[in-house]
């Protein structure tokens, strides 16, 4: 079973997530991190920057691979995930820009770009710690329902619910991208450790389906039930539809976990 940590509120869940990233950086300064974007991660990166400064922790030896990027947006587009990562994390720490990777959304041949990205992850030794959010439809990365559980980095059409959820990041008259390049589900499953963070009541159905439903392409995050080292960090709102919530809380009261850094 996954380690399921239910925290009182979003702030506590974000702190717990940032703490695990800091521990990984402290114990493996040359780690490869798999990173996510989206509203859920904004505070995680803010906490990470603040605590890394306090601890005098260097990111100079790290490598990073982000999960996904919108097709059609260049790196310097205000809504690209490259811009998000630069603004919210990379510009504030000493990670080497050349060691930070996202798929190139404006590649002339997106299918080739997907193959290049997947190969680069493998060539660089794989991902030590993959950070994930979850869509309201259970997607991880942009692996929407019906995604192959054996998929690798590729082009994906975004679900209507994903485009609607992401509209808030775009100007009212701006078109929301319809396609993305995303790591595949098999790519994500190869990460040596996975941390999934979800906060808020809007994620409660997806979390219940992912943790307690059948493993199915209908809820791509459910495949994590097969991952040998996954920690799910949620707040009480995101946990509100879990049938075995009392059991999870009895194992890790208040989301606390006695854990050993690997
Ligand atoms: C982002 C990503 C997505 C988001 C998910 C949740 O890189 O891969 O899977 O994690 O859509 O997004 P928010 O946090 O905005 O609800």
The rounded distance, in Å, linking the Cα atoms of 69 and 46 is 21
Q: Which residues are catalytic?
A: 68, 137, 139, 144
Dist. CA 115–CA 94, nearest whole Å: 29
| 163 vs 178: CA distance, rounded Å | 7
CA of 204 relative to ligand 1 center, distance in Å: 15
Alpha helices, H only, the chain: 10-27, 39-55, 81-88, 110-123, 160-166, 185-189, 204-212, 245-251
Q: How far does the centroid of ligand 1 lie from the alpha carbon of residue 194, in Å?
A: 15
Taking only the tens of pLDDT, the chain with its 262 residues reads: 699 999 999 999 999 999 999 999 999 999 999 999 999 999 999 999 999 999 999 999 999 999 999 999 999 999 999 999 999 999 999 999 999 999 999 999 999 999 999 999 999 999 999 999 999 999 999 999 999 999 999 999 999 999 999 999 999 999 999 999 999 999 999 999 999 999 999 999 999 999 999 999 999 999 999 999 999 999 999 999 999 999 999 999 999 987 555 5
Length of the chain counted residue by residue: 262
Tokens of 93: 């720490």
Q: Which atom of ligand 1 is found nearest the CA of 200? A: 16
Q: Which residues contact 49 (CB under 8 A, 6 or more apart)?
A: 89, 92, 93
Find out whether the beta carbon of 184 lies less than 6 Å from any atom of ligand 1: no
Q: Find the 141 Cα to ligand 1 centroid distance in Å.
A: 7
Q: What distance in angstroms lies between residue 157's CA and the mean position of ligand 1's atoms? A: 15
Query: Which residue's CA is the nearest one to ligand 1's atom 1?
Result: 37
Residue 105 Cβ < 6 Å to ligand 1:
no
- Tell me, using a 6 A CB cutoff, whether residue 141 lines ligand 1: yes
pTM for the structure as a whole: 0.97
> What is the architecture, at CATH level 2, of domain 3-255?
3-Layer(aba) Sandwich (3.40)
Element (H, E) at 70: strand 68-70
Specify the pLDDT at position 35. Answer: 99
d(CA 61, CA 79) in angstroms, rounded, equals 28
**What is the atom index within ligand 1 of the atom nearest the CA of 40?**
14
SS3 of 102, please? Answer: coil
| 193 ligand 1 Cβ < 6 A | no
How many A from CA of 212 to the centre of ligand 1?
A: 21
CB-ligand 1 contact for 67 (6 Å cutoff):
yes
3-state percent breakdown (helix, strand, coil) of the chain, nearest 5: 40, 20, 40
């Amino acid at each position: 079973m996954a380690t399921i940590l239910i925290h009182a509120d979003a702030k506590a869940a974000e702190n717990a997530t940032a703490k695990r990233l800091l521990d990984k950086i402290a114990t493996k300064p040359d780690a490869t991190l798999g990173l996510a974007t989206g509203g859920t991660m904004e505070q995680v990166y803010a906490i990470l920057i603040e605590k890394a400064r306090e601890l005098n922790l260097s990111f100079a030896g790290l490598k990073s691979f982000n999960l996904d990027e919108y097709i059609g947006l260049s790196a310097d587009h205000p809504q690209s995930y490259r811009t998000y990562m630069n603004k919210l994390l990379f510009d504030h720490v000493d990670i080497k820009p050349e060691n930070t990777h996202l798929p190139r959304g404006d590649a002339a041949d997106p299918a080739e770009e997907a193959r290049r990205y997947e190969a680069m992850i493998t060539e660089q030794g794989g991902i030590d710690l993959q950070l994930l959010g979850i869509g309201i439809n259970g997607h991880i990365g942009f692996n929407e329902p019906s995604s192959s559980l054996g998929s690798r980095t590729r082009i994906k059409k975004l679900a209507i619910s994903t485009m609607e959820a992401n509209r808030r990041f775009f100007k009212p008259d701006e078109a929301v991208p319809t396609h993305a390049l995303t790591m595949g589900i098999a790519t994500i499953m190869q990460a040596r450790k996975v941390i999934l963070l979800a906060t808020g009541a809007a994620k409660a159905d997806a979390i219940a389906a992912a943790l307690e439903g059948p493993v199915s392409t209908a809820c791509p995050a459910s495949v994590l039930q097969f991952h040998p080292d996954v920690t799910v960090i949620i707040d009480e709102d995101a946990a509100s539809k879990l049938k075995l919530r009392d059991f999870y809380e009895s194992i890790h009261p208040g989301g606390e976990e006695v854990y050993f850094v690997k």
